[in-house]
Amino acid sequence: MENGHAGKHRVAVIGSGNWGSVASRLLASNTAKLPSFHDEVRMWVFEETLPTGEKLSESINQAHENCKYLPGIKLGTNVIADPDLESAVKDADMLVFVTPHQFVEGICKKLVGKLRPGVEAISLIKGMEVKMEGPCMISKLITNTLGINCCVLMGANIANEIAVEKFSEATIGYREDKEAANRWAKLFTTPYFLVAIVEDIEGVELCGTLKNVVAIAAGLVDGLDMGNNTKAAIMRIGLREMRAFSKLLFPSVRDNTFFESCVGGRNRRVAEAFARNGGKRSFDELEAEMLHGQKLQGVSTAREVYEVLTYHGWQELFPLLSTVHEICIGQLPPTSIVEYSEHTPNLSFVGGSTPCY
């Protein structure tokens, strides 16, 4: 922060779904201990009325638990749910964005002119906004709309496992401002949640985002009972396409950002059910039934990636990423996930290619 910011940092979390609640809990356990932070973590809640008739924000503040999106886990008494977006952020100088990616633009527009000077942001959001001129990553959307520095935090982390303090790792991607990245790392690190920082914001963000698409491919293979060798091959191809796609869009992306990381969670689980049903039940239907109001990001990311591929005429270069989308919308059967892999293109040309904007 600027030198005038000698006081303690105040944290606000924008979003209160499954991952938002887990992040708030983790951050609040640290702000309570770290002398450079105010104890209180404000969490903006998109207000809902529960079946009991109670408001979600009131329920969280009374029970210190998000009974809808993270039942059975105490968030900490210093997590304060606030249904008013402006009020939730007004005192904060560290903002954590963790909403479904389709809501980010609208939220940012509401926040213009409402933030304290010198605010820093971090995005835990996977996804991209596809514009005619190319994809806009969520961190860039936040920076462009609000004029603030925004890092990203991504990992193969499954929120419910972090909630019960199973060991997980994540990476913070930053652009130039290493000091800000270190401050975020300090705020997020716990004995069970290890954070590394890397100066490759696009690489980290695309790796986290595209992994959800590959997770769907992995889930389809599981649902078709094709065995571990096939799954390993799909993961290898997926990782290679993720890296090549990212480098075509952002030549500055570093290879080693795309480390082998596991793919699991809700995208894999729902895709497995989709394949077991032979594609007869849509992803929307399975999402509603299996996720109880949480969103499946892999399907929408697959569509966004497909829009970019179509725009550039790159579908044949990225058969796995293209096929996942075509299966998701019912254009191809789930079994086609393994059929294209015989004619995998040579992506070795992706080295010093030109960016699309």
Same domain, 32 and 131: yes
Domain assignment present for 2? no
**Whether residue 265 has pLDDT greater than 80:** yes
Looking at the predicted structure, is the pLDDT value of residue 335 above 90? yes
Q: Which of 180, 199, 218 is the last residue of a domain?
A: 199
Domain boundary among 199, 218, 234: 199
State whether 151 and 15 are in the same domain.
yes
Q: Are residues 188 and 221 in the same domain?
A: no
Residue 344 lies in a domain: no
- pLDDT tens digits, 71-87: 999 999 999 999 999 99
The reply to whether 182 and 225 lie within a common domain is no
Residues 135 and 255 in one domain: no
Instruction: Answer yes or no: do 35 and 161 share one domain.
Output: yes
pLDDT of res. 54: 97
What domain count does the chain have? Answer: 2
Instruction: Please indicate, yes or no, if residue 263 is contained in any of the structural domains.
Output: yes
**Residue 129 confidence (pLDDT):** 85
Q: Is residue 212 part of a domain?
A: yes
Residue 261's CATH number: 1.10.1040.10
Of 175, 199, 223, the position where a domain reaches its end is 199
315-329 per-position pLDDT tens digit? 999 999 999 999 999
186 and 85 share a domain? yes
36-45, 129-138, 311-320, 344-353 — which is least confidently predicted?
344-353
Q: Which CATH number fits the domain that encloses residue 130?
A: 3.40.50.720
pLDDT on residue 354? 33
| Position 296 confidence tier, pLDDT thresholds 50, 70, 90 | confident
Would you say residue 354 lies in a domain? no
- SS3 per-residue string spanning the chain: CCCCCCCCEEEEEECCCHHHHHHHHHHHHHHCCCCCEEEEEEEECCCCECCCCCEHHHHHHHHCCECCCECCCCCCCCEEEECCHHHHHCCCCEEEECCCHHHHHHHHHHHCCCCCCCCEEEECCCCEEEECCEEEEHHHHHHHHHCCEEEEEECCCCHHHHHCCCCEEEEEECCCCHHHHHHHHHHHCECCEEEEEECCHHHHHHHHHHHHHHHHHHHHHHHCCCHHHHHHHHHHHHHHHHHHHHHHHCCCCCHHHCCCCCCCHHHHHHHHHHHHCCCCCCHHHHHHHHHCCCCCHHHHHHHHHHHHHHHHCCHHHCHHHHHHHHHHCCCCCHHHHCCHHHHCCCCCCCCCCCCCC
Query: Which residues belong to the annotated binding site for NAD(+)?
Result: 15-20, 46, 103, 159, 266, 295, 297
What average pLDDT score do residues 347-354 get?
40
Indicate if 247 and 297 belong to the same structural domain: yes
**Residue tagged active-site, from 211, 231, 247, 280:** 211
Say if residue 28 is in the same domain as residue 156: yes
86-121 pLDDT per residue, tens: 999 999 999 999 998 889 999 999 999 999 999 999
Taking only the tens place, the pLDDT of each residue in 235-263 is 999 999 999 999 999 999 998 888 655 67
Q: What percent of the chain stands above pLDDT 70?
A: 91
Query: Mean of the per-residue pLDDT values for the chain?
Result: 90
> Same structural domain for residues 232 and 91?
no
Q: How confident is the model at residue 155 (pLDDT cuts 50, 70, 90)?
A: confident
Residue 350: pLDDT band with limits 50, 70, 90? very low
pTM across the whole model: 0.89
| pLDDT for the residue numbered 262 | 60
- pLDDT, tens only, 12-60: 999 999 999 999 999 999 999 999 999 999 999 999 999 999 999 999 9
Q: Binding site residues, as ranges?
A: 15-20, 46, 103, 126, 159, 266-267, 295, 297
Tell me, yes or no, whether 27 and 56 share the same domain: yes
Q: For residue 288, give its domain range.
A: 203-336
Task: Tell me whether residue 343 is in a domain.
Answer: no
Same domain (yes/no): 189, 233: no
Q: Answer yes or no: 211 catalytic.
A: yes
230, part of any domain: yes
* % the chain with pLDDT above 90: 80
* Residue 357 belongs to a domain: no
